[in-house]
Amino acid sequence: MALLVSSHNRYYTIPSVPRLTDAFPRVPISNGFSKAFGGSNIQVINGSMATLALDKSSGSGLVSVNKYHYGFFSAAIKLPAGLTSGVVVAFYMSNADVFPHNHDEIDIELLGHDKRNDWVIQTNVYANGSVNTGREEKFYLWFDPTQQQHQYSIIWNNHHLVFLVDNIPVREFQHSGSFFPSKPMSVYATIWDASQWATHGGKYPVNYKYAPFRVSFAEMEMSGCISNPTGTVTSCSKNTPSSLDPIEGPEFVKLSNQQSSALGWARSKLMFYSYCKDTSRFKVMPPECK
């Protein structure tokens, strides 16, 4: 059933989609993650939820115990309320720790909010390390992400990348060429100071008068191909893929008609920036834009 929801003074009829987040087991944070940085600003509650804080001393972050080749990754996130200009909450995948000059990255970044506009989610893809070749797209959220937890998810397999918000696909990035993440990555959950760019291009930096800024992460899901550090993995696919296989299952190798319709809704109603239309940055459009 479609729902009518509002964001500031805008009202949206939300399309119906399959709830992929109901298909996979949740991973206890206490088992699946370790502290990456800012340990004193991290609190794990009952093993299943974590609050991360940003204050003048430090941001904070979690990193998955395992690295993954492909899979389905999701987190329920509640953003810090109030004036959060310059603050970035991120749920992302990266291998920069292993490949510092040639890394891959898949980003969901929830950008700081100055109370002037709708809340913004930025998605990005890097392959083989060049910071000049990020593929950013930005969307308005159709809800207030500080009121309750919402689910932010990534499908990553050999066919495509899909970014989802509350199970609604907002972006699909096809594997159609050399620019595609291909090396094992860790999963990260972080909050940090990105004053130089996060809110209106860096116009509004973090105001630590309102610190600490706290975000909650829960309902973590990481299902897919775990990288074996002692050997190479040639295939993580099942011999007889089921619909619950995020690597080769029929529900994951391409979007359903219902999901494709929802993707079109999100891109027409909510997207306000795409690198494919940024001619000042790309004199020659990347091949996937064509």
Looking at residue 244, what is its pLDDT? 78
Residue 38 tokens read as 């800012």
Q: Which of 109, 137, 248, 251 is catalytic?
A: 109
Cα radius of gyration rounded to whole Å, the chain: 18
Looking at residue 233, what is its pLDDT? 52
CA atoms within 13 A of residue 208's CA, in its CB half-sphere: 11
Q: Say if pTM beats, i.e. exceeds, 0.95.
A: no
Q: Which of 105, 221, 248, 251 is catalytic?
A: 105
Residue 209: phi, psi to the nearest 5? -60, -25
Confidence of residue 248 (pLDDT cuts 50, 70, 90): confident
Q: How many residues does the chain have?
A: 290
Catalytic site includes residue 105: yes
Residue 2 tokens read as 């479609």
CB 152 within 8 A of CB 141: no
CB 102 within 8 A of CB 84: no
Domains and CATH numbers, the chain: 26-226+244-282 (2.60.120.200)
Give me the percent of the chain exceeding a pLDDT of 70. Answer: 91
Looking at residue 243, what is its pLDDT? 66
CB 168 within 8 A of CB 266: yes
In Å, the largest CA–CA distance within the chain is 56
Torsion (CA) 199, 204, 206, 211 in degrees, nearest 10: -100
CB 92 within 8 A of CB 188: yes
Catalytic site includes residue 136: no
